[in-house]
Chain A
């Protein structure tokens, strides 16, 4: 069966160890987590976990069912096939040298990247977008001399309830 990336949104009771339970359920059953974002919702006692993983539809159904078994899990939704928007963010640090600073400046202007801080020898750029956009920007930054990046997991929200 066809393997696909899936975005799973999980509402959980904000209880001790809930993240360990979710992650452990997947790891222990041999499923991979590609990215993970966790934070509270507008309700303090409820958190949302957005997770990306890949697999065939039957694998994903199995993952959803395993997660549903957890006492602290309220709901599990696969957002892949519903209308939803996706964003992730990456912070990129570039080394500035005599040779590249002109090229960096041009690239930043041309791509409308957001520079958060810059010093004599470095610049930190923030890129936000869906996975494709972020990958695209990173590919353009690559030749300019990236020294480090930090990438968040994907967050996603459905258009309607």
Chain B
């Protein structure tokens, strides 16, 4: 049966079981939008293409499925770049469709032409320019396959206008793609090495990362840790991959990691690092990172191995399959931990935890951000999906909210993209309309994609924005306080809109808390609403995130904060 390109497009999405796309129209995709007009596919009209990509990204992070966007050529396409780079750094599966000028005009500097495949080559897993209608269906299928397989990532598909208007036979049964992703099988002899190393270890530690969540390996990781009493720390991207309320959980490591997690890393003699890439924010100075430990590194991507940290035993493989193999092998070989040395190690960790717990002081009449986060956890009983922007509020969320389940913490880790939180929350809420979805935002970050309040209002996507408003670009301000003699060069954000009025102008409920006593009421009210809400929490302006590892220093060299915090 002959179909138009635009029809093939929709059929191909149907084949991939796409149930929602985030997009924004324009000249080059008007044919596609005309096709959408008569289709049942759910389309969310965002207010900026960056918002579309972050929304699709949030959807993907919360569901584990591929997020999908559709935008026009030229400026529509370039507006997606930050979103694509964000997804790329965190290995999030997306397919981004961009319109393109007709193939005959490509290269002519035609109106709204831009070489988006060239621009996004370094920040996509792969990209395609569909040059003719014959390739359309197979390219779309391949794009989804590439996005979700192996180490996932964003794929961009550029669709010239004339290709979408052309006609071609379409039969899903005939759409073939090349299979490019090799299936890695963990080598059996490596399991024996893991056992030997565990047997030799007195102070084992598990470090869990985003690859555990992407690989859906949380259950296996949790079982391994609990069964053999191995304490667990994690990266920002790994939060939720091991229960944050479990006594074995040490919290996040790295620059704003807990004192005890960083001490554990420096003192452990065996580290099982799963689905991590040893980012510099995590390791501090490489020379001193886990320098007493034999390190086993499990990752699906060979290029992650030995990239930053030298690994004793690399295991290239799917995190779930590999952890399963390890569990089976340890069981078969009757591995049991030495109770004495394990108790000793756990006691050492408990002492560090007691010496410098995560803490803050909610006294006086000024709201502390950590207090808001703890109250949020209490009121939701932790049953909430959380997104964040980037900055201090993101770190406080990582520190003070205990994420018990994978895919419940959605945050831009690798690229650190301000303005991610609100649109990502919209994507998450679209995937889980019946669950509570909260964007923990900064006053600087929220202004980068505040226009998406209109999207939330239009579709009544009831996301709840918890704005931790310190009237500062707080994170750079903290660096200026610590390393630049408090010279607050261009980080003061006192000039800002009245966020409550702004929310209301968008058709979103606006609430405000200025005193600690109001925090709970505002949260209760905001969480109870079945409409989108923005809650403006006026917090202590110069609160810092502690502990803090000095950039480039060893992760045991931490500024711990004021005396009252260490007590």
Q: Which residues of A contact B (CB under 8 A)?
A: 13, 16-17, 20-21, 24-25, 28, 58, 61-62, 65-66, 68-72
Contact = CB atoms under 8 A, between A and B. Distances in A.
26 contacts: A13-B178, A16-B129, A16-B131, A17-B117, A17-B121, A20-B118, A21-B121, A24-B121, A25-B122, A28-B122, A58-B306, A62-B303, A62-B306, A62-B307, A65-B301, A65-B302, A65-B303, A65-B305, A68-B302, A69-B151, A69-B303, A71-B125, A71-B126, A71-B146, A71-B180, A72-B126
Given A16-B131, A17-B117, A71-B125, 5 more contacts: A58-B306, A61-B306, A65-B303, A69-B303, A71-B126
Most chain B CB neighbours (cut-off 10 Å) among A13, A16, A62, A65 = A65
Interface string B282-309: 0000000000000000000111011100
Interface of B: 117-118, 121-122, 125-126, 129, 131, 146, 151, 178, 180, 301-303, 305-307
Contacts of A66: 303
B303 A68 contact: yes
A78 B301 CA distance: 19
Nearest to B302: A65
A17 B115 CA distance: 12
Contacts of A72: 126
Contacts of B117: 17
A20 B118 CA distance: 9
Given A17-B117, A71-B180, A24 B303 contact: no
Contacts of A24: 121-122
B125 A20 contact: no
A65 to B, nearest CB: 4
A27 B129 CA distance: 22
Most chain A CB neighbours (cut-off 10 Å) among B121, B146, B301 = B121
A113 B126 CA distance: 47
Most chain A CB neighbours (cut-off 10 Å) among B146, B302, B306 = B302
A64 to B, nearest CB: 9
Given A24-B122, A62-B307, A69 B129 contact: no
Contacts of A13: 178
Contacts of B125: 71
Contacts of B129: 16
A26 to B, nearest CB: 11
A69 B302 CA distance: 8
B176 to A, nearest CB: 14
A144 to B, nearest CB: 44
A11 to B, nearest CB: 13
